A and B are shown apart, each in its own frame.
Chain A
Amino acid sequence: MYQRSVQLLSIAFLVLGLTILVRTLANGGGPLSLGVILGVAFVGVGVARLWLSGAFQ
């Protein structure tokens, strides 16, 4: 249950990060805009947590 919750939350972070990234770019945000930085950060956190949970093994 715990493992599944962790993986689910990690996927949610990943999707959220991608969404923020896309919206920022679509609205003309540059590479150093807050939206891009936050988006990349969320994606990074999501992928990293999935990796640590062993989802890619």
Chain B
Amino acid sequence: MAERLPREETLRRVHGVGALFSTAYGNVGSSIYYALGVVAVFALGMTPVVFLISGLIFICTAVTYAEATVMYPEAGGSSSFARHGFNELVSFFAAWGQVLNYVITVAISAFFVPHYLAVFWEPLESSPADIVFGILLIGLLIVVNVVGSKESARLNIVLAIADLMTQVVIVGIGIALVLNPEILVDNVVLGVAPSWGDFALAIAIGMIAYTGIETLSNMSEEARDAPRTVPKAVGLVVTAVLILFLLIPIVALSAMPVTMQGGEYTTALATTYAENPMLGIVDNLGLAATATEALRIYVGVLAAVILVIATNAGLIGLSRITFSMGQYRQLPEAIRAIHPRFKTPYVAIVLFGVVSAVALLPGETELLATMYAFGAMLSFTVAHVSVIRLRRLYPESEKRTYKPRFNLPLKGGDVPLTAILGGLGTFAAWIVVMALNTRTLLIGIGWMVAGLAIYMLYRRSQGLGLRQTVKVVTPEPLGVEEIEYRSVMVAFEDDEPFSEEMVATAVKLASKRRRGIHIHSLLTVPTNLPLDAELREAEAEAQSKIEQAKLIGGQRVSGHVERVRPGQAGYSISAEAKLIAAAAVVVWLRYRDGRPLYDKTLQTVLAERPCRVIVVSEKGARDGVETAPSLG
């Protein structure tokens, strides 16, 4: 009897530690390009201390995220944790806070792009050019995301490495040329520069430097071996970020010390270079003019590219979180509408993209930073409290395969110390940012009240309780069946029509040794949607290819629908072929204007060479390419 592989999952988990780290670092590491200046406005000479304290709170938050994400490797971050720990109402609070985070991340990243591009054209550094540029950039990215963007993992890795290396080099040069501990001490006048109020506010705002930790949670549904890879990636991101975010302000304040001007303590980092702090470091490193100019241009371009990626990542995050909220009936159906042609959640992208553009209009970095702190601190506090609650509810859960050290033993089970300290820190920061900034208090409370009103009205209209968890029913994939090892595999992409020739070729090959035939039917999920997003029509079409194959091949045909991200089809096909030790894989060769088109999928499969590859073209069934010795 042929050996069989039980098939349960239809979600492709592809990301290893490297991809998780680089994407998360790319998101977290990009924030120093705006956070440094904003924090220095309030913290002055205490900026390094502020980043250290914020960093410690960040560590606690990262550990909390690691524990809960490993338990529930699904998109949603703190809203997912709250759903499992509490109820849907608390989950909504966390999710709505996250939406605010993403809105502000998009706005602030887009706003700072022109500040770094000002190395080429100075007017971009100030109003109204920077506001106009930022809004146009958001508009462009809205269009790109509606049409469907491919988030390239390879590009993310390259940029993350470039970003990391650049920051290391700048820090290295700074330590060699300008670091002066005496200046760093003289920069601080306790209680005066900065005042205690500004110091406290700066700590809350300093958390903006660590935006991006949610990325790991959102990527966890696609992480390979999540209990191992997620904590490892978290550890690497935390280490890299903490070290650099401590050293960069130290170098910056050595290069641009705090001085008394016009009766007030100030630093060029908080004034001239508040809007492009990394360029300020470059300008004040004391390098020769030519070297400074070259480094300025390099840092300016790198920062602009990274911030564009961060803006796009924010838009993708926005569309995913709002789509997830729609799936759980937290937001009206209309928000979840999928574009019929592009298969992207275009309503969510356009609506919240416009909200980001409106947030950008005043062109006030401080307001954006405090609003971010409001949303993030609320969301993080809910995450910490949820993890504590999950410990109490499920002290011996098998899902908790990662448990941080330092737990407080209590009656009924222990609680993580990191969650307690982190929760106290984020809650205090949330209170501080509201208490010391009236505009933020009013806008933030207004945002939450508006969201709550939408939630309550929508839920009432659907006859649902406020605390009730309801998920939109997605039809179970049909024919989730076992696969026979050593089958002949036939791969269909979703933009390809069903091909009788491909199945006939597979039947011919399989019949020689009475092998099974396995249909690997791919469904490409746009980056803007969670991987398990409901795509009924696409799912039905992918499934129909399997059914049509069964009509031709008979009982020996099995199949499943595999969800992949854009550009991942080739890797999915290769991985599946290796998994089932396929005897051969049959793929389609397209033609355009009479010429064969070796697209990325085919190139990847041929490069990976999991087994014999049979390429079938429109012109008839024939053996195309043999890339490995016959395994028959």
Q: Are A and B part of the same complex?
A: yes
Residues of B within 8 A of A15 (CB): 431, 434
CB pair A26–B431 under 8 Å, yes or no, is: no
- Chain A interface, DSSP helix/strand/loop, else mixed: helix
- Report the Cα distance A32→B163, complex, angstroms: 50
Residue of A18, A19, A20, A25 touching B196 (CB-CB under 8 A): A25
**A41 interface residue (CB < 8 Å to B):** no
Which residues of chain B from 520 to 558 have a CB within 8 Å of any chain A CB? none
Residues of B within 8 A of A21 (CB): 435
Chain B: interface size category: 10 to 19
CB pair B441–A26 under 8 Å, yes or no, is: no
- Report the Cα distance A30→B14, complex, angstroms: 57
**B200 interface residue (CB < 8 Å to A):** yes
In the complex, per-residue mask of B110-142: 1 if CB is within 8 Å of any chain A CB, else 0: 000000000000000000000000000000000
Expressed in whole angstroms, the minimum distance between the Cβ of A7 and any Cβ of chain B is 12
**B479 interface residue (CB < 8 Å to A):** no
In the complex, per-residue mask of A1-43: 1 if CB is within 8 Å of any chain B CB, else 0: 0000000000000010011111101110000000000000000
- Report the Cα distance A33→B336, complex, angstroms: 52
- Report the Cα distance A20→B436, complex, angstroms: 10
Residues of A within 8 A of B195 (CB): 26
CB pair A26–B197 under 8 Å, yes or no, is: yes
Residues of A within 8 A of B434 (CB): 15, 19
Residues of B within 8 A of A23 (CB): 435-436
Q: Inter-chain contact count A-B, CB under 8 Å? A: 26
CB pair A27–B441 under 8 Å, yes or no, is: no
Residue of B nearest to A21 (CB): B435
Expressed in whole angstroms, the minimum distance between the Cβ of B90 and any Cβ of chain A is 12
Residue of B nearest to A14 (CB): B431
CB pair B196–A22 under 8 Å, yes or no, is: no
Residue of A nearest to B191 (CB): A28
Which residues of chain B from 182 to 199 have a CB within 8 Å of any chain A CB? 195-197
- Report the Cα distance A37→B496, complex, angstroms: 72
Residues of B within 8 A of A20 (CB): 435
**B432 interface residue (CB < 8 Å to A):** yes
- Report the Cα distance A17→B197, complex, angstroms: 17
CB pair B441–A19 under 8 Å, yes or no, is: yes
Residue of A nearest to B441 (CB): A19
- Report the Cα distance A15→B432, complex, angstroms: 10
Residue of A nearest to B438 (CB): A23
- Report the Cα distance A23→B441, complex, angstroms: 12
Residues of A within 8 A of B432 (CB): 22
Residues of B within 8 A of A18 (CB): 431, 435
Residues of B within 8 A of A27 (CB): 197
- Report the Cα distance A20→B248, complex, angstroms: 35
CB pair A19–B197 under 8 Å, yes or no, is: no
Residues of B within 8 A of A25 (CB): 196-197
Residues of A within 8 A of B436 (CB): 22-23, 26
- Report the Cα distance A23→B200, complex, angstroms: 11
Residues of A within 8 A of B441 (CB): 19
Residues of A within 8 A of B435 (CB): 18-23, 26
- Report the Cα distance A21→B436, complex, angstroms: 11
**Quick one: which of B195, B196, B197, B435 has the most chain A CB within 10 A?**
B435
- Report the Cα distance A20→B438, complex, angstroms: 12
- Report the Cα distance A29→B235, complex, angstroms: 41
- Report the Cα distance A11→B441, complex, angstroms: 16
Residue of A nearest to B432 (CB): A22
Expressed in whole angstroms, the minimum distance between the Cβ of B430 and any Cβ of chain A is 9
- Report the Cα distance A6→B81, complex, angstroms: 25
- Report the Cα distance A22→B197, complex, angstroms: 8
- Report the Cα distance A23→B197, complex, angstroms: 8
Expressed in whole angstroms, the minimum distance between the Cβ of B614 and any Cβ of chain A is 64
- Report the Cα distance A27→B435, complex, angstroms: 11
Residue of A nearest to B436 (CB): A26
Residues of A within 8 A of B197 (CB): 25-27
**Quick one: which of A20, A22, A25 has the most chain B CB within 10 A?**
A22
CB pair A19–B431 under 8 Å, yes or no, is: yes
Expressed in whole angstroms, the minimum distance between the Cβ of B259 and any Cβ of chain A is 24
- Report the Cα distance A26→B444, complex, angstroms: 21
Expressed in whole angstroms, the minimum distance between the Cβ of B374 and any Cβ of chain A is 12
- Report the Cα distance A15→B362, complex, angstroms: 28
- Report the Cα distance A1→B547, complex, angstroms: 52
Expressed in whole angstroms, the minimum distance between the Cβ of A28 and any Cβ of chain B is 8
Residue of B nearest to A27 (CB): B197
In the complex, per-residue mask of B410-437: 1 if CB is within 8 Å of any chain A CB, else 0: 0000000000000000000001101110
Which residues of chain B from 145 to 204 have a CB within 8 Å of any chain A CB? 195-197, 200
- Report the Cα distance A34→B200, complex, angstroms: 21
5 tightest CB-CB pairs across the interface, nearest first? A26-B197, A22-B435, A19-B435, A18-B431, A23-B435
21 contacts between A and B (CB under 8 A): A15-B431, A15-B434, A18-B435, A19-B431, A19-B434, A19-B435, A20-B435, A21-B435, A22-B200, A22-B431, A22-B432, A22-B435, A22-B436, A25-B196, A25-B197, A26-B195, A26-B197, A26-B200, A26-B435, A26-B436, A27-B197
Question: Apart from A19-B431, A23-B436, A25-B197, what are 12 other A-B pairs with CB-CB below 8 Å?
Answer: A18-B435, A19-B435, A19-B441, A21-B435, A22-B200, A22-B432, A22-B435, A26-B195, A26-B196, A26-B197, A26-B200, A27-B197
